[in-house]
Amino acid sequence: MSLTFPTAALNLPSGLTVIPNGFVRPSFVTTYAFDEAATASTTFQAEYNTEAYILAVVSPGLGLTYFVTDKATPTLAVYDGTDWQYYEGV
């Protein structure tokens, strides 16, 4: 048994990225959203705090997200530009 390779030039990876689970993913010249390195702007982030602290935040940014620590059920608080929206059971 033998392996046959095409004679045409193949696209070679321009780099390798190791993702958190240890899987190695090749990167090609054209990158897509999942190929980009994770940064603060591309990674979901939520802070932990009490509801009283969250309500006292001055000028929260749109989409600011907190995990509310003093609720009986797991709750996310997300600022929608006008008010805090609460998502329970997350």
What's the pLDDT tens digit per position in 27-46? 555 555 555 555 555 567 78
pLDDT, residue 50, reads 93
pLDDT, residue 44, reads 74
Give the dihedral of Cα atoms 71, 73, 76, 82; nearest 10 deg: -60
pLDDT, residue 52, reads 94
Q: How far apart are CA 19 and CA 43, in angstroms?
A: 13
**Helix (DSSP H) and strand (DSSP E) numbers for the chain:** 1, 6
To the question of pTM greater than 0.85 for the whole model, the response is: no
pLDDT digits (tens, 9 = 90+) for 45-55: 788 999 999 99
